[in-house]
Every structure is written in C-alpha cells, then in structure tokens.
Amino acid sequence: MNALAFNPVTAVLVIPVSAAVLLALLPSYRISARLNVFASLLTFVAALLLFVTERPQPGRYLLIDDLNIVFIVLNSFVGFTTSVFSASYIAHELETGRLTPANLRFYHAMYQIMMFGMNLAFVSNNVGLMWVAVELATLTTVLMVGIYRTHEALEAAWKYFILGSVGIAFALFGTILVYMAAQPVVGEGYDAMAWTLLIQHAAAFDPGLLNVAFVFLLLGYGTKVGLAPLHAWLPDAHAEGPTPISAVLSGLLLNVALYAVLRFKILIAASPEAIAPGPLMVTMGLTSLVFAAFMLYRRRDIKRMFAYSSIEHMGIIVFAFGMGGPLANFAGLLHMVMHSLTKSAIFYAVGHIAQIKGTQRLSSIRGLTESHPGLGWGLVIGVVAIAGLPPLGIFMSEFLVVSSTFARQPLLAIPLVFGLLIAFGALLLRLTGVAFGQPRGSTAPVEGSYMPMYSHLALVLGGGVYLPPPLVAWFQHIANLLG
C-alpha cells in the first residue's frame, strides 16, 4: 500500500481528486487559486516522475507506456500553466462581478476534476473506463463553459452538451462492438475490455465488427476532436466560456479524444482483414483543414477565430496519423505537442486582451504592439507560430507532414498545401489589424503575468530550432508503434 501511495501513476489521479474536494469547500479566492496552482504543479511533477521511476506492469484498469506518457506530461504541463494564467484572469472576473465566490469554488473544483478525467482517460487499460473518463472530462468543461450564466453562455454549454452526448453515444456503441468482437476470443468480462489483451488477440477478432466499430468510434471521438462536420459545438464553447477553459479545450481536451482514436487505430491495424483506418482519418482531416481555413475569413470574434484555427490544426494532426508511417506519425505527434503549446499561449494573450478592451470583437482591437507591447508581441509570435512560419515548431511539423505526403501520396499534397495557404492568409490578415496600427479601446495595464504565455512560446521556438536527440528517438519509437 505504501508503494502504491507514492506511485506517480496513482499521484496523477489522486492529487486532482483530493484538490477538487478541498477547493469545493474553501471560501477564500486567494487560497483556492493558489491551491489550484499548487495541485496542478504537483500533478505535473508526478507526471515527470514517470520518466525516472520504474513503470508498473499493466493492470486490469491502468496502463503506462511510451504513447500515453507523451499525453500525460503535455496535459499536466499545460494544465499547470493554465492554472497560473487562470489565477489572475478569474480574479479580474470576480472584481468586475461577472463571477461570484460560489462560482469560483465551483470553477476551481471542476478544473481539478477535469484534470482527473483527462489523466484517467490517458492511463486507462480498459476501453470502458476510458470512455467514462472522456465523458467526465467533457461534462466538467460543459459546466465551466456555462459558468457566466448568460443566455449566450448557457446556449453554448447546451449545444456542447447535446453534440458531445451524440458523439459519446457513437463512441459507446463503437466500444460495445469492440467488446462483442473480443468476447468470443478472450472471454467475457474485463479481459474483453483490456487494451493489452485486445492488442494481443486483435488478429483473431471478427473484422466485420471491427470495421463498423471504428466508423462509430471515429465519428464519436471525432466529435470531441472537433473534426468537421462534427465541430459545431467548438466555436461557441470557446467564445462564451472563460478563456482559461478555451485554452484547455484547444490545448488539452481535443488531445484526449485524439488519444482514444489513436488507441483504436492501433487495434484495428492489428487485424489484417479489418478496414484500413488511414483513409477515413485522411478524409476527415483534410475536410476539417480546408473547411476551417475558409471559415477563418468570416470570423468577427477573436476567440471564435482561434477556435476555427484549432479545428484546422486538429485536421492536420488527424490527417498525419491517417497517412501513417514513421515520418507522418512523427510529424503528427510533433504537431500535436506544438499546437497544444502554441494555441494555449494564444488564448492566454486573448484572455488578457478581452479583459483590457472589454470586448472580443476583432474590429474593436487595434494596435496592441503599441498600447501593450508585451502582450501585443506575444500575440504576434503566437499567430506567426500557428500560421506555420519558421523558425517556430509548427513550421517544422507542417513541413514534415507535407514532405511525407509528397513522398507517398503526391495528389493529397495539393489540398493539404492549399488548405495551409488559405489559413495562413486569413491569420496574417487578422493579425495586421489587431497588432499594428492606431491603438483602439482601453489602454489599461495588464493584470497578471505573461509567464505562462512566453514559457509556451519559448518551448515552441526551441522545438523549431533544436529537438534533443533523446526526444527525437522517443518520438520515433512512438511513431513506429502507431504503424
């Protein structure tokens, strides 16, 4: 029991749950905000310990391997930096009366439950438990999206709940079909739901059931990834919820559903007679990329614009993993990490901007580099990064995606590059007005630290300039596992 108590796998689950209970009871905002940051930091430290401690053997419910460590460390790091940003952001919302002390207790408790749900999804060795964890993480973000209790916020939360429920219902049906395919081979009960056993015996499963299962799983979890045409909840959720939740949605929650898709892709690929999952993922990825690229030109709200940017980049990532192979999988993995870091940094900047200007309308935000240089140039770097310009990390990952596509499927490179160029033009068009020119609106000083934003941007720059050989070797190993 003592060994279990200090196991980092247990810690990344127990710390958020324990913190959520305390945060639900604490009346003081200052204490609760600091506890939220401290708990997120401890979770991140526990995730880092997974690198240096001996990995536990896969159990009935929990699994640690090279693939999910990437997601856990990224999830806990962005969760920690978002909690730091959230402390000042939510304090401002309390001062302006948009949130009450009761709202804040609820918000902080839900934040930690959300972190627990996402971490549980990553470490689950049981397809049913993973489904429950994804649903838990979804429900907590639904509640936080509607926390302002305005008509628009409640409508966005309701849309998110309805579409998310449809998606998770599809995912549940796909999970049941996988269980039905496994049951004749590995027996009833937990064994037919354990990842490790499913992978070992996948070649003997009924390929017909696996084919139908993957279609439902891709549609179901693809809704949570934000793939078009299943994306309708995402722009509203970003625009109406608190900005820290926008950062978490783009930087983390989309990755949770992506992780589920990748796990099932590995399972389907292990059955030689089952449908190839790649073409379905490539189709949905390209559709999302091109659709979102055009939609960027029509946005008038800054948070909605970057929500569509998230749809675009998740499309690129799903496309890369759908292409498969060592290079494309490596590129998809790198792009996922770089997108999470960059997009959350952008939302940190957008949160400060919206509070200073009192609006999210792009037409009311001008000349940030002159009125707020630290904030404005941070946003410029973030947009340049997300647009895919060198020497930042997303340029490197997009270059690898395009290169692998040209090498293997040259015709697919045409819509891929077309979508990237369309999105590039839209982002730079919007950036010029927001960042440069005559300042418009309030010039009040920024409340809070730029540390979360610039720490992410520094990592994205480092990822574009130099990737340490151990990190490259690790990502290459995972790319090979993904097939």
What is the secondary structure of 94-107 as a DSSP string? HHTTSS-HHHHHHH
Which of the 8 DSSP states describes residue 392?
Answer: S
Is residue 382 a part of any domain in this protein? yes
What span, in angstroms and rounded, lies between the C-alpha atoms of 293 and 386? 12
Q: How many CA atoms lie within 13 A of 136 on its CB side?
A: 20
The 3-state DSSP class for residue 436 equals: coil
Is residue 383 a part of any domain in this protein? yes
What span, in angstroms and rounded, lies between the C-alpha atoms of 35 and 19? 7
The DSSP result for 141-183, as a single string, is HHHHHTTT--HHHHHHHHHHHHHHHHHHHHHHHHHHHHHHHHH
This prediction's pTM:
0.93
* Range of the structural domain that residue 409 is part of: 278-483
Is residue 358 a part of any domain in this protein? yes
The C-alpha R_g of the chain, in whole angstroms, comes to 21
Instruction: Give the tokens for residue 35.
Output: 């506890």
Q: What angle do CA 15, 21, 23 make, to 5 degrees?
A: 95
The 3-state DSSP class for residue 194 equals: strand
Which of the 8 DSSP states describes residue 297?
Answer: G
Q: What sign results for the dihedral spanned by CA atoms 477, 478, 479, 481?
A: positive
294-311 CB burial, b ≥16 within 10 A, e <16: ebbeebebbbbbbbbbbb
Instruction: State the greatest distance between any 2 C-alpha atoms of the chain, in Å, as a whole number.
Output: 69
Amino acid at position 114, single letter = M
How do the pLDDT tens digits run along the chain, 483 residues long? 344 445 888 899 999 999 999 998 887 778 888 999 999 999 999 999 988 888 888 888 888 888 889 899 999 999 999 999 998 888 888 877 788 887 888 889 999 999 999 999 999 999 999 999 999 999 999 989 888 888 888 999 999 899 988 998 999 999 999 999 988 888 888 888 889 899 988 888 888 899 999 999 999 999 988 888 888 888 888 888 888 888 888 888 889 999 999 999 999 988 888 888 889 999 999 999 999 999 998 888 888 899 999 999 999 999 999 998 899 999 999 999 999 999 999 999 999 888 888 888 887 888 888 888 889 999 999 999 999 998 999 999 999 999 999 999 999 999 999 999 999 999 988 888 888 877 777 777 777 788 999 999 999 999 988 888 988 998 998 998 887
Q: Count how many domains the chain has.
A: 1
What span, in angstroms and rounded, lies between the C-alpha atoms of 483 and 481? 5
Is residue 43 a part of any domain in this protein? no
Residue whose C-alpha is closest to residue 231's, from 153, 318, 146, 297 = 318
Is residue 331 a part of any domain in this protein? yes
Is residue 305 a part of any domain in this protein? yes
Which residues make Cβ contacts (< 8 Å) with residue 344, sequence separation at least 6? 78, 81, 82, 247, 248, 250, 251, 252, 452, 456
